């Protein structure tokens, strides 16, 4: 082969190799099952139980989730084909309600579902408890789910500290607002409202989100939310990525609850506000998405580590907003994140999971400024992302062709390959 032809052949091979993007990946049911097992093994705190019960509904019994196209609340009679899928959710509620007297020191009256230093986190289990009551689980196990939910509701209104304008504190020992609480409390209030036909509680769910937004939204930082405000210790003015994702995910759940309920028309303006506020967070966050597809632990601080857990949860809210409200703006960014988190690491397994199925890298869920090892909430976020993507794809992947605003790793690969090819062409011309 003449030297010039050999040089051209090398260039062609290089171009074909380097310009071939990584094959798009998705998590298989078997892989999600392993993630679910790690979540079940790792969940030990109130918000982890609540988040686990929520994502099990989203993934295994979507018609009983507020994020489906089904009416809310769902039928009280459980279809035989979903009995097994719901059994894991009800095993959580059964254990929590059966043990709450022991957990709370045998007190009666207003009390959280589980003892916690947080006033907000125990309410995250409330939706599953309400569903257990709604579907008549007490008939088979004799537990008072209605009473447990009522005590939790009264605890929030009567016992939890509040700001002067009525925002329910996330902490129990003082008034302090955490972005996390938007996922924990408002969805419970909203679901309580639809199962008891109480419009006031649905409105209160919206009001709590509005109040939290007033305190935590940073208009000087592209509407990113601060993590913790008020209180005598531990405030955090930084824009914690997981906190922003928690807030967006809580809003999505309240939006879905209202939209699928008989109160949708009465609360049309509230729905529009929620959809707009979710888009605010998306707009603030995705401008800081790393080229890898992940977010840094603090979105606008590149000196902090990359975090896969917040990346997964926020992506789930993008797919859900597309389904619930027809907003497709950040689907390319969500797809970039999902594909990255689902990509293979050669033949050794998934790039962002350990061999035994733990998502990595992740923030420490018990010490948020630091990188952690095993994160039960991170596992839950992966399941939420996968369920949202699956539902979006099944609905026709509407909006999939929206032009991306951030640079994808695939684009970087094309640019790199083009530069290498140009270099080789110049080198070959010199050699010839």
On whether residue 19 sits in a domain, the answer given is no
pLDDT of res. 376: 98
| Alpha-carbon torsion angle 129, 134, 139, 140, nearest 10 | -60
Distance CA 301, CA 238 (A): 9
β-bridge mates for residue 371, sequence order = 363
Q: How buried is 100 (Cβ within 10 angstroms: 0-12 exposed, 13-18 middle, 19+ buried)?
A: buried
CB 169 within 8 A of CB 119: yes
Q: Give this prediction's pTM.
A: 0.89
Backbone angles phi, psi at 217, to 5 degrees: -65, 130
Residue 379: which region, alpha, beta or left (left: phi > 0; alpha: psi -120 to 50)?
Answer: alpha
CB 149 within 8 A of CB 192: yes
Integer angstrom CA distances of residue 83 from 60, 77, 91: 10, 10, 12
Q: What is the DSSP letter of 303?
A: T
Which CATH number characterizes residue 267's domain?
1.50.10.10
Is residue 306 within a helix (H) or strand (E), and if so which, with residue range? strand 306-307
What are the average pLDDT values for consecutive 10-residue runs of the chain, which has 432 residues? 42 36 70 98 98 98 96 96 97 96 83 96 98 98 97 98 98 97 99 98 98 98 98 94 98 98 98 98 98 98 98 98 98 98 85 96 97 97 98 96 57 38 42 44
pLDDT of res. 116: 94
Q: What is the DSSP letter of 262?
A: T
On whether residue 124 sits in a domain, the answer given is yes
On whether residue 255 sits in a domain, the answer given is yes
The residue segments making up the domain with residue 336 are: 24-431
On whether residue 303 sits in a domain, the answer given is yes
On whether residue 109 sits in a domain, the answer given is yes
On whether residue 167 sits in a domain, the answer given is yes
Distance CA 62, CA 396 (A): 17
Helices (H), 76-125: 80-103
On whether residue 10 sits in a domain, the answer given is no
pLDDT of res. 20: 35
CB 25 within 8 A of CB 343: yes
How many structural domains does the chain have?
Answer: 1
CB 281 within 8 A of CB 225: yes
Residue linked to tokens 């070959």? 428
On whether residue 121 sits in a domain, the answer given is yes
pLDDT of res. 108: 87
3-state secondary structure 15-53: HHHHCCCCCCCCCCHHHHHHHHHHHHHHCCCHHHHHHHH
pLDDT of res. 304: 98
pLDDT of res. 30: 95
Q: What is the DSSP letter of 159?
A: I
pLDDT of res. 241: 98
Of 151, 178, 176, 324, whose CA–CA distance to 254 is shortest?
A: 324
């Amino acid at each position: 082969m003449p030297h010039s032809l050999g040089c051209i052949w090398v260039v062609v091979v290089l171009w074909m190799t380097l310009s071939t993007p990584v094959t798009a990946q998705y998590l298989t049911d078997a892989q999600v099952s392993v993630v679910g097992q790690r979540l079940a093994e790792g969940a030990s705190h109130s918000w982890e139980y609540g988040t686990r019960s929520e994502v099990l509904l989203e993934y295994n019994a979507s018609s009983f989730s507020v994020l489906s196209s089904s009416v809310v609340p769902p039928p009280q009679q459980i279809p035989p084909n979903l009995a097994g899928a719901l059994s894991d959710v009800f095993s959580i509620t059964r254990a929590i309600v059966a043990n709450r007297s022991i957990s709370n020191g045998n007190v009666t009256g207003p009390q959280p579902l589980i003892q916690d230093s947080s006033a907000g986190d125990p309410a995250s289990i409330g939706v599953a408890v309400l569903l257990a009551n709604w579907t008549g689980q007490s008939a088979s196990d004799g537990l008072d789910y209605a009473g447990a939910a009522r005590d939790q509701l009264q605890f929030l209104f009567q016992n939890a500290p509040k700001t002067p304008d009525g925002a329910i504190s996330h902490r129990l020992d003082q008034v302090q607002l955490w972005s996390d609480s938007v996922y924990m409390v408002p969805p419970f209030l909203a679901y309580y409202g639809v199962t008891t036909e109480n419009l006031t509680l649905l409105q209160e769910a919206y009001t709590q989100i509005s109040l939290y937004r007033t305190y935590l939204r940073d208009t000087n930082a592209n509407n990113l939310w601060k993590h913790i405000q008020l209180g005598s210790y531990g405030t955090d003015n930084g824009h914690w990525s997981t906190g922003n994702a928690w807030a967006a995910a809580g809003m999505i759940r309240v939006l879905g609850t209202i939209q699928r309920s008989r109160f949708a028309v009465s609360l049309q303006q509230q729905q529009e506000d929620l959809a707009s506020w979710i888009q605010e967070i998306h707009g603030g966050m995705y401008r800081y998405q790393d080229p890898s597809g992940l977010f840094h632990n603090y979105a606008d601080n590149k000196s902090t580590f990359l975090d896969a857990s917040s990346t997964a949860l926020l992506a789930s809210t993008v797919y859900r907003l597309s389904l619930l409200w027809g907003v497709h703006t950040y689907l390319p960014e969500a797809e970039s994140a999902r594909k990255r988190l689902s990509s293979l690491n050669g033949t050794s397994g998934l790039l962002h999971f350990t061999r035994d199925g733990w998502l990595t890298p992740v923030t420490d869920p018990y010490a948020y400024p630091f990188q952690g090892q095993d994160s039960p909430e991170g596992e839950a976020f992966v399941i939420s992302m996968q369920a949202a993507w699956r539902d979006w794809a099944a609905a026709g992947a509407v909006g999939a062709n929206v032009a991306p605003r951030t640079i994808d790793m695939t684009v970087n690969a094309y640019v790199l390959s083009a530069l290498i090819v140009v270099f080789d062409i110049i080198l070959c011309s010199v050699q010839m």
